């Protein structure tokens, strides 16, 4: 008396290849699904079944449309995540980036702060000049003589 492949016993009944003591998990790397007279392997989300029908390979979600990320996509095993460029913050959807208003907090500008997309810059009030650090301002004093005009900073150096 013999049974068809995938069955055993008398009378013949389905063998659960996924619970076999001979082959752990049916030989499947991730998920084994028993079917009547057979079985098949499946993979978790973020993975795809390899051509051998047993192993799973990572899906690089970033390779298609940057994973839906507005700025940067980083692939991980079975998943991915989005990050934003400097001056931007990741929105609650985990994909879009919103500009950080650097002028709303401690912006470091001595006088005026101007927010731009992903950055900011400083300016000085009238009569002041922006220092080479791009943040502090020095007062300018115009001294007029009969011959020349000099601009003197608060440090006393003629420019």
Which residue, chain included where needed, has tokens 């009944």? 13
More confident residue, 114 or 16: 114
Count of CA atoms in the C-beta half-sphere (13 A) of 159: 12
* Residue 76 near residue 66, CB atoms below 8 Å: no
What pLDDT, on a 0 to 100 scale, did the predictor assign at position 149? 56
Question: 89-102: b or e for each residue (b if 16 or more CB lie within 10 Å)?
Answer: ebeeeebbbeebeb
Here the contacts of 144-149 (C-beta below 8 Å, separation 24 or greater) are: none
What pLDDT, on a 0 to 100 scale, did the predictor assign at position 159? 42
* Residue 46 near residue 61, CB atoms below 8 Å: yes
More confident residue, 30 or 150: 30
Q: What is the pLDDT of residues 34-77, one digit of tens each?
A: 998 889 999 999 999 999 999 999 999 999 999 999 999 999 99
Torsion, Cα 60 66 69 71, to 10 degrees, reads 120
Residue 55's alpha-carbon distances to 75, 82, 114, 153, in angstroms, are: 19, 27, 54, 72
For the entire predicted model, the pTM comes to 0.63
How far apart CA 82 and CA 88 sit, in angstroms, is 12
Q: Quick one: which H or E segment has residue 137?
A: strand 137-144
What pLDDT, on a 0 to 100 scale, did the predictor assign at position 150? 56
Q: Which of 132, 138, 137 shows the shortest CA–CA distance to 157?
A: 138
Q: Quick one: which H or E segment has residue 120?
A: strand 119-123
More confident residue, 154 or 41: 41
What pLDDT, on a 0 to 100 scale, did the predictor assign at position 158? 43
How far apart CA 92 and CA 85 sit, in angstroms, is 16
Q: What is the pLDDT of residues 19-38, one digit of tens each?
A: 876 778 989 999 999 998 88
Q: What is the pLDDT of residues 93-147, one digit of tens each?
A: 999 999 999 999 888 999 999 999 999 999 999 989 999 999 999 988 766 666 6
pLDDT at 157 over 50: no
């Amino acid at each position: 008396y013999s049974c068809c492949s995938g069955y055993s016993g008398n009378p013949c009944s389905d063998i659960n290849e996924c619970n076999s003591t001979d082959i752990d998990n049916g030989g499947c790397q991730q998920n084994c699904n028993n079917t009547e007279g057979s079985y098949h392997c499946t993979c978790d989300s973020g993975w795809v079944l390899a051509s051998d029908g047993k192993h799973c390979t990572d899906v690089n979600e970033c390779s298609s449309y940057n994973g839906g990320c507005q700025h940067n996509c980083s692939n991980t095993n079975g998943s991915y995540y989005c990050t934003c460029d400097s001056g931007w913050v990741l929105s609650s959807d985990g994909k879009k980036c919103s500009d950080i208003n650097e002028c709303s907090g401690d912006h470091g500008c001595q006088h005026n702060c101007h927010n731009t997309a992903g950055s900011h810059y400083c300016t000085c009030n009238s009569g002041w000049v922006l220092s080479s650090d791009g943040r502090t301002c020095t007062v300018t004093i115009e001294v007029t003589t009969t011959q020349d005009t000099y601009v003197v900073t608060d440090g006393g150096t003629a420019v």
